[in-house]
């Protein structure tokens, strides 16, 4: 007999505005406790020194986490000129200094070099594994880590102008980027400083978007815990399918929906096939629904929907 999970069968997403100095793991733990949820996880780690969007999955939503890992993201960060650190953020030891202070115009002139598909060498202080060990663990032990360049995509990059009435600050520049998965902001800051003949590191970092999860949908940890304390936690819960915003959905009959929940395939009508083909990109993934609720994620092949992940939502 299967052991019953502790907690409540809560399913959905939380668009958390993660505070400074909190690890992603601790954020998951606090949200899980607040909901007394049976299961919880996050889609993409956010460093303790960073704030902003950390999508957290509860219950059945954890089955959709892989689809959010590849989502585009938006970051806003500040580069502090004058010092380079070992980790390329404010936590690392200073490794070099310089009196060079690039102007906004100079930064704007070199930024286009880093837009598009580019080769980027991840920082040594990263979670990438080297011979079975995390690169940041080796770096902290003083081991020299050389990571291979990898292709990443930066869709857009722009300098954020000083707010009206604020004096310009020659020691800092604020930048916002839209990027694909695997992009390291600290590596971009390193490469920008090098291109400008300066020293610099990331002094502040905020994630503004992960796929469909944006700051206007976000909730702080304190506000969420207050809602849970007042018994109004469901006000902050987003639907399981929020992570599937770019996957075409198909409404099915009760009979076909039941077949999918049993792990059996469903034969599509020709018009359904044509409709889905027009909406499918490189992936063949389709989200099947019934009565407005997600039933299964399927792969469409040869006019059939074959279930790959089945959901049990009440």
**Which of 201, 227, 243 lies at the terminal end of a domain, its last residue?**
243
**Tally of domains in the chain:** 3
What pLDDT score was predicted for residue 167?
63
Instruction: Classify residue 50: in a domain, yes or no.
Output: yes
Does one domain contain both 189 and 263? no
In a domain, 7, yes or no: no
**Tens of pLDDT, residue by residue, the chain (314 residues):** 455 668 888 999 999 999 999 999 999 999 999 999 999 999 888 889 999 999 999 999 999 999 898 899 999 999 999 999 998 999 889 999 999 999 999 999 999 999 999 999 888 766 666 556 665 665 565 666 677 889 999 999 999 987 765 667 899 999 999 999 999 999 999 999 999 999 999 999 999 999 999 999 999 999 999 998 898 988 999 999 999 988 889 999 999 999 999 999 999 988 888 888 877 766 789 999 999 899 999 999 888 999 999 998 86
Supply the DSSP symbol for 235: G
| CATH number of the domain within which 192 lies | 3.30.2350.10
148 and 183, same structural domain? yes
pLDDT of residue 1: 45
d(CA 152, CA 60): 30
Instruction: Please tell me the predicted confidence (pLDDT) of residue 195.
Output: 97
pLDDT value for 126? 61
For strands 94-97 and 133-134, give the pairing: unpaired
Residue 27 near residue 54, CB atoms below 8 Å: yes
Please give the model's pTM, rounded to 2 decimal places: 0.89
**Do 160 and 63 belong to one domain?**
no
pLDDT in the model for residue 141: 58
47 and 126 fall within a common domain: no
240 burial level (CB within 10 Å; 0-12, 13-18, 19+)? buried
Contact between 37 and 10 under an 8 Å Cβ cutoff? The reply is: yes
Yes or no: say if 199 and 82 are a contact pair by the CB < 8 Å rule. Answer: yes
Q: Which domain-ending residue is among 186, 210, 234? A: 210
Q: Which domain holds residue 188?
A: 73-210
DSSP letter (8 states) at residue 233: G
Last residue of a domain, one of 163, 194, 210: 210
Q: The domain that contains 287 carries what CATH number?
A: 2.30.130.10
| pLDDT at residue number 233 | 86
Do 115 and 160 reside in the same domain of the chain? Answer: yes
What are the φ/ψ torsions at residue 296 (nearest 5 degrees)? -165, 155
Residues 115 and 179 in one domain: yes
Neighbours of 176 (CB within 10 A): 15
Size of the chain in residues:
314
The pLDDT value recorded for residue 147 is 73
Q: Give catalytic residue positions.
A: 47
- Token pair recorded at residue 153: 């995509």
205 shares its domain with 100: yes
Residue 1: inside a domain, yes or no?
A: no
pLDDT of 273 reads 86
- Burial of residue 299 (CB within 10 Å: 0-12, 13-18, 19+) is middle
pLDDT of residue 255: 94
């Amino acid at each position: 007999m299967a052991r019953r999970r502790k907690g409540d069968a809560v399913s959905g997403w939380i668009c958390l505005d993660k505070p400074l100095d909190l690890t992603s793991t601790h954020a998951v733990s606090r949200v899980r406790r607040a909901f007394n949820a049976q299961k919880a996880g996050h889609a993409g780690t956010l460093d303790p020194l960073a704030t902003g969007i950390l999508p957290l999955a509860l219950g059945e939503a954890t089955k959709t986490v892989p689809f959010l890992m590849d989502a585009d993201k938006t970051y806003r960060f500040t580069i502090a000129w004058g010092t380079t650190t070992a980790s390329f953020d404010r936590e690392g030891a200073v490794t070099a200094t310089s009196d060079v202070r690039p102007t906004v115009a100079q930064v704007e002139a070199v930024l286009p070099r880093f837009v598009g598909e580019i080769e980027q060498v991840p920082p040594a202080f990263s979670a990438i594994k080297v011979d079975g060990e995390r690169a940041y663990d080796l770096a902290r032990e003083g081991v020299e880590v050389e990571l291979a360049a990898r292709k990443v995509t930066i869709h857009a990059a722009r300098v954020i102008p000083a707010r009206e009435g604020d004096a310009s600050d020659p020691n800092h520049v604020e930048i916002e980027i839209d990027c694909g998965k695997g992009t390291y902001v600290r590596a971009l800051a390193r490469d920008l400083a090098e291109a400008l003949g300066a020293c610099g590191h990331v002094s502040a970092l905020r994630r503004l978007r992960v796929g469909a999860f944006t700051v206007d949908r976000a909730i702080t940890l304190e506000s969420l815990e207050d809602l849970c304390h007042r018994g109004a936690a469901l006000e902050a819960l987003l639907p399981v399918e929020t992570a599937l915003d770019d996957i075409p959905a198909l409404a099915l009959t009760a009979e076909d929906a039941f077949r999918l929940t049993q792990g059996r395939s469903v034969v599509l009508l020709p018009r359904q096939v044509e409709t889905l083909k027009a909406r499918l990109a490189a992936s063949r993934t389709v989200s099947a629904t019934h009565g407005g609720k997600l039933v299964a994620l399927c792969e469409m092949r040869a006019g059939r929907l074959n279930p790959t992940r089945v959901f049990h939502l009440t």
